[in-house]
Amino acid sequence: MSLFASMTTAITGLNAQARALGHVSDNVANSQTVGFKRTDTNFVSYLTESTATVHRPGSVVARPDYTNTVAGTISQSENPLSMAISGQGFFSVARPTGTTNGKVTFDERQFFTRAGDFQLDREGYMVNGSGYVLQGWSVDASGNPDRTQIQPIQISDLVFNPIATTSIELSANLPATGTTAVTTPINVYDSLGALQEMTMTWTPNGSNTWTLDISSAAAGGSLGTIDVQFGQAATPTSADGTIGSFANASGTFAGSAAVAGDPATVTFTADFGQGPQTVTLDLGAFNVAGGVTQYAQDEYSVRNLAQNGVPLGSYSSVTVGDNGDISINYDNGQSRVVARVPVTTFNNPDALQRLDGQAFMRTVESGEARTSDASNNGAGQLAISSVEGSNVDIAAEFSKLIIAQRAYTANTKIVTATDEMLQDTINMRR
């Protein structure tokens, strides 16, 4: 056996253990890094010659063994924008490269990460602690995502425009023996989002008939009247106490056709200074004991009064749903979904190329990136207001550290012994 070969083998052992020590050092240093994936060590032997009668020393190489598929501990976070993936998959992120004409520009390459400690930056982008911007699908007005393209998510809709009231829903009971008019105040929003006060007045007009009047001082007084006929007073007649038909509409009022089971609605218009605004008053259904009824009761009672329309809203907060929908909340009680966060999976995620900031890039060995909704097609589930910690186990790393240290020391002994043997060989001539 060659003494030089023995020394060379021992030196490769020193190099391999030094690399293993480097992996341990990197793991321990990042034991508290969000989304960090530890690197284990895989030792590979190379042979010079090995037969049934001869074995010559070869060498050993330490290769990294990545653990991208091993999840870290998921813990709760006070940050409502933080996310973790429970299961397989990565967040798709973009790397900012600078600004052009005041707008942020991004690297054209696709990056992926498990570090979900996202927060809003001054431009409204969702950025994690390493500076990568979360990407997602844009959504239409109905909240349906456009899965054909993925782009950086930016919170830019900071104002919710006002919506004028177009419908009012009333459920109440008019006393069957009532002899005096009763009123109900209602509020509607005009096209500018201003709250306008209106008054709904019910006046008894003969047996089983009430005259409805709606007035608004801002719209010039009474908007019109209409007779609401119940039971035997209706044409055609309806069940006692239920709305059967409308009659004698005046002003801007118009009632729907009397068909049993169809909605009993009254439409009217009001002009608050921005032009006519059409409103539909829903009183229930014809010949159905719901909505507005007329039964024996001492007083007029309102069970439900609701209307649509909202005032101007300003940005309040951002929330993330379990399905990945990112919603902007406004101080007028409304919310709007602006994007959806998908999850990207790979056939071989351990073969992804590692980058700074707990980020990864696709490689030929990792396979193509497959982007889908969370909890679909093998993608993990989103854990909201949570972060995934490092998958490093300190106790295990200390064990590796001791083993690497002892193995390194053992290899130095071989180098020392080989050196002494070589010295003895040189001294043989003396």
- DSSP-derived letter for residue 139 is B
**25 & 116 share domain:** no
Mean pLDDT by 10 residues, the chain (430 residues): 77 92 96 95 88 85 94 94 96 94 92 96 94 95 90 92 95 93 94 94 93 94 95 93 95 95 96 94 95 93 94 93 94 93 96 96 95 93 95 95 93 84 76
Spatial neighbors of 309 by CB under 8 A, at least 6 apart, are 162, 163, 164, 165, 166, 188, 189
Q: Are residues 183 and 248 in the same domain?
A: yes
Q: 302 and 250, same structural domain?
A: yes
What does pTM read for this prediction? Answer: 0.80
Residue 26 sits in the same domain as residue 52 = yes
Identify whether residues 201 and 280 lie together within a single domain. yes
| Whether 209 and 82 share a structural domain | no
Of 255, 288, 307, the one marking the end of a domain is 307
- pLDDT at 428 (0 to 100): 79
Range of the domain at 288: 167-307
For residues 237 and 270, state if they share a domain: yes
Same domain, 184 and 299: yes
Provide the domain count of the chain: 3
The DSSP code for 90 is B
pLDDT at 149: 92
- Residues 297 and 176 sit within 8 Å (Cβ to Cβ): yes
For residue 14, being part of any structural domain is answered with yes
In a domain, 338, yes or no: no
Among 315, 335, 316, 334, CA closest to 326: 335
Please indicate, yes or no, whether residues 251 and 296 belong to a single structural domain of this protein: yes
